[in-house]
Amino acid sequence: MHNAVVNGPLTDFEIRLLEEALEQARRSYAEGGIPIGSALGSEALGIVAAGHNERVQSGDTTAHAEVVCIRRAGRRRDWHTLTLASTLSPCIMCSGTAILHRIPRVIIGEHRSFFGAEELMRQHGISLAAADDQRCRELMERFIREKPDLWNEDIGIPPLKP
């Protein structure tokens, strides 16, 4: 397992945020998509947006869960007060989106299936918490077993030559 920064146990709100992200991931899986979900919010505002990976459903290669979620949050001036939860460690694009918006905290459901750009987020001052949630891990492991070619496509691994 990778060494993630965990700043204490998750708060009740952060657990709720991760639960919403997991619900989003399940929705994507049910739609035949990649089961990654994300949610954004704060204790004061509650959940302000949620989304799931829509890359398969929409054909948009940038429609990762975190990007979809942040798009749905719309124009805001309070990014610096929000926490982003994702069922899987954010890739470099999604990490860059969190950095760009100065989101201060990211909750990661699991990072065994894929270890994203966590060090990049840390370098930009983002506080990370890795929940190592068994439900997130099992959903991703199931998907990777069922659709390895689709997973490899999503993370940029070229197809094997016949």
The residues pairing with 39 across neighbouring beta strands, listed in sequence order, are 50, 85
Q: Is residue 3 part of a domain?
A: no
What is the band of 162 on the pLDDT scale with cuts at 50, 70, 90?
low
Count of structural domains within the chain: 1
Q: Is residue 66 part of a domain?
A: yes
Q: Which residues does the annotation mark as catalytic?
A: 66
Q: From residue 127, how far is each of 46, 107, 124 by CA, in Å?
A: 19, 9, 9
Say what the pTM is.
0.91
- Round to whole Å and give the CA distance between 56 and 65: 12
What CATH code is carried by the domain that includes residue 49?
3.40.140.10
pLDDT of residue 13: 97
Q: From residue 132, how far is each of 6, 44, 139 by CA, in Å?
A: 11, 26, 12
Residue ranges making up the domain that contains 22 = 12-153
Residue closest to 95 by CA, chosen among 72, 125, 80, 117: 117
Residue with tokens 């929705």: 27
Q: Helix or strand or coil: residue 3? A: coil
Q: What is the CA radius of gyration of the chain?
A: 15
pLDDT one-digit tens code per residue, 90-139? 999 999 999 999 999 999 999 988 888 899 999 999 999 999 999 999 99
pLDDT of residue 156: 79
pLDDT one-digit tens code per residue, 20-49? 999 999 999 999 999 999 999 999 999 999
pLDDT of residue 6: 54
pLDDT one-digit tens code per residue, 64-103? 999 999 999 999 999 999 999 999 999 999 999 999 999 9
